[in-house]
């Protein structure tokens, strides 16, 4: 656990090197520290070491951590962190999700989008979301099929409570990061294609891809949000 600051520094160095290889500056890529399954103490250590963005994959787990983390940051006079929902969202959890998360990475159906929009309108807000795409074709993975995205975006235009700001995908679990390069490249191409359509109000400013095993490859392929857990919290990776 006391390796967290060191691990975080190491991940940031690798991120910066990958950014430079892809002709970008390190600060154009946001590191999301994925804290699912980690204790409040571990998260506090990461925040004290400079983590700014927290990723959780379950609303209920995030709810348990939200208050203690908020109090910790207030007590230490630190800036608040941003909370990202990176895991699957059920429609009956949208209300609490909107109370915590500034970006939802995992929207993969129009019914979910409609519910987020409805709840956001009640809050007189616009919620930023990413569309999750299944780029690997694995049946076990959430996400839209690439071929359905155009249609999804067109239909989303009627919902004023949400703002689509990019795409998210998960690579395959593999020990070789190169395995996911084609999937990441395909997400980048899909993003370019949607951008070229110039849908009103839709930006493709974020590409959320890359985890512990493959974040450097993801950055080389254009990721600007990377979601990293194990490399920060575990000493063996
Ligand atoms: C757990 C998780 C991550 C982080 O994975 P690590 O391998 O621990 O870096 C990223 N994205 C999602 C959606 C996750 O569930």
Mean pLDDT by 10-residue block, N- to C-terminus, for the chain (237 residues)? 90 98 97 98 97 98 97 94 98 98 98 98 97 93 94 95 97 92 98 96 96 98 98 82
Cβ(143) to ligand 1 under 6 A? Answer: no
Confidence at residue 139, expressed as pLDDT on a 0 to 100 scale: 86
Cβ(228) to ligand 1 under 6 A? Answer: yes
pTM of the model as a whole: 0.96
Confidence at residue 237, expressed as pLDDT on a 0 to 100 scale: 47
Atom of ligand 1 nearest to the CA of 227: 10
In contact, 132 and 169? CB cutoff 8 Å:
yes
| CA-based nearest residue to 185, from 156, 212, 220 | 220
- Ligand 1 centroid–CA 160 distance in Å is 30
Cβ(223) to ligand 1 under 6 A? Answer: no
3-state percent helix, strand, coil for the chain, nearest multiple of 5: 45, 15, 35
- Ligand 1 centroid–CA 211 distance in Å is 6
Name the closest-CA residue to atom 11, ligand 1.
227
In contact, 209 and 223? CB cutoff 8 Å:
yes
Confidence at residue 236, expressed as pLDDT on a 0 to 100 scale: 61
Q: How far apart are CA 72 and CA 80, in angstroms?
A: 10
Which of 30, 140, 173, 211 to probe ligand 1 with, by most ligand atoms within 8 A of CB?
211
Confidence at residue 81, expressed as pLDDT on a 0 to 100 scale: 96
Atom of ligand 1 nearest to the CA of 234: 8
Confidence at residue 175, expressed as pLDDT on a 0 to 100 scale: 83
Q: Does domain 4-231 have CATH number 3.20.20.10?
A: yes
Q: How far apart are CA 124 and CA 65, in angstroms?
A: 26
Cβ(171) to ligand 1 under 6 A? Answer: no
């Amino acid at each position: 656990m006391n390796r967290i600051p060191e691990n975080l520094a190491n991940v940031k160095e690798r991120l910066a090197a990958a950014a430079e290889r892809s002709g970008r500056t390190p600060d154009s890529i946001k590191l999301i520290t994925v804290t699912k399954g980690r204790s409040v103490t571990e998260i506090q250590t990461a925040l004290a070491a400079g983590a700014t963005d927290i990723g959780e994959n379950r609303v209920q787990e995030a709810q348990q951590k939200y208050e203690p983390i908020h109090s910790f940051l207030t007590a230490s006079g630190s800036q608040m962190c941003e909370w990202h929902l990176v895991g699957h969202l059920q429609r009956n959890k949208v209300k609490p999700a909107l109370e915590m998360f500034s970006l939802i990475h995992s929207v993969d159906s129009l019914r979910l989008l409609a519910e987020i929009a409805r709840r956001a309108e009640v809050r007189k807000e616009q919620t930023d979301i990413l569309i999750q795409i299944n780029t690997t074709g694995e049946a076990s993975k959430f996400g839209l099929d690439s071929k359905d995205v155009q249609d999804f975006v067109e239909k989303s235009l009627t919902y004023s409570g949400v703002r689509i700001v990019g795409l998210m995908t998960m690579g395959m679990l593999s020990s070789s990061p190169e395995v996911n390069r084609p999937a990441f490249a395909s997400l980048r191409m899909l993003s370019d294609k949607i951008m070229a359509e110039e849908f009103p109000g839709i930006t493709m400013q974020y590409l959320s891809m890359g985890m512990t095993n493959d974040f450097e490859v993801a950055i080389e392929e254009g990721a600007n949000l990377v979601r990293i857990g194990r490399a920060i919290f575990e000493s063996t990776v």
